[in-house]
Structure 1
Amino acid sequence: MAALPLQVLVPEGSASTLQAAAGGGDTCPAGDGVWLEVLNGNAAARTVTLVTPGLYQGLAIADRTCVIPAGERWKIPVGRIYAGSDGQASITYSPDAASVTVGCFKYAS
């Protein structure tokens, strides 16, 4: 698992980068206004899953899955609900991370 750095975008404009998704999954900070940007460069769809570690009234909350079609670039909100005890969200890719690039972003407040 690789830790994706939080890239803070400023009003004047910011350079942003995507990096190769890790085969074993990634982590990124979770919180208000944070999003994961996913570019699927693969010829087939890829499923991105954000693990939801919490409970609501003792019941498990379902993980968030997003199917990213081939060649598309999506933005996925990474709210606090996805934060583990360390404040990080866990992200997995299925069936694999081949040709998938990702980045974690937030606008400067």
Structure 2
Amino acid sequence: MPRTPVPVTAITRTGTAAPAETNGDTVNNHVISNNGRVVLLVRNASESTPRTITLRVRGLIDGQTVTPRTVTIPAEASRYIGPFPTDSYGGALEIDVDNAELKLSAFGI
């Protein structure tokens, strides 16, 4: 199945309403349209367990696959992550989540 898209909400000078969060999808994972100026907000809804997201890095170095970047989100905490240069992460940023308790929002700056 294709990855679950996370919509990108544009930030404007006149103000932007908070978007609805996308629930973590541990089966299909996620994709975000990335122009190099996207910031991801990840909220961990777990009351007691840290959760992890994995950001897939594109390309090869010396013919070797680059290790994906992981970010641990503490219980009941949120983290802003980004931006993501397109030469490293591509135009379709792939994100894997380890639990549905992770809630995702994306913002274009």
Q: TM-score, normalised by structure 2?
A: 0.84
When residues 51 and 57 of structure 1 are mapped into structure 2, their CA distance, relative to the original with a 3 A threshold, is same
Q: Pick from 11, 19, 23 the counterpart of residue 20 of structure 1.
A: 23
Q: Does 1:90 align with 2:94?
A: yes
Q: Which residue of 2 aligns with 1:11?
A: 13
- Taking the aligned partners of 2:33 and 2:22, their CA distance within structure 1 comes to 16
Between 69-78 and 28-37, the greater mean CA deviation after superposition: 28-37
Q: Which residue of 1 aligns with 2:103?
A: 101
Q: Pick from 71, 85, 90 the counterpart of residue 79 of structure 1.
A: 85
Structure 1 residue 60, shift from structure 2 partner: 2.1
Which amino acid in structure 2 is aligned with residue 38 of structure 1? V
Gaps of 5+ in 1: none
Q: Which residue of 2 aligns with 1:51?
A: 56
Q: TM-score, normalised by structure 1?
A: 0.84
Residue correspondences, number:
102
- Give me the identity figure in percent: 25
Between 45-54 and 24-33, the greater mean CA deviation after superposition: 24-33
Which amino acid in structure 1 is aligned with residue 41 of structure 2? E
- Taking the aligned partners of 1:61 and 1:39, their CA distance within structure 2 comes to 26
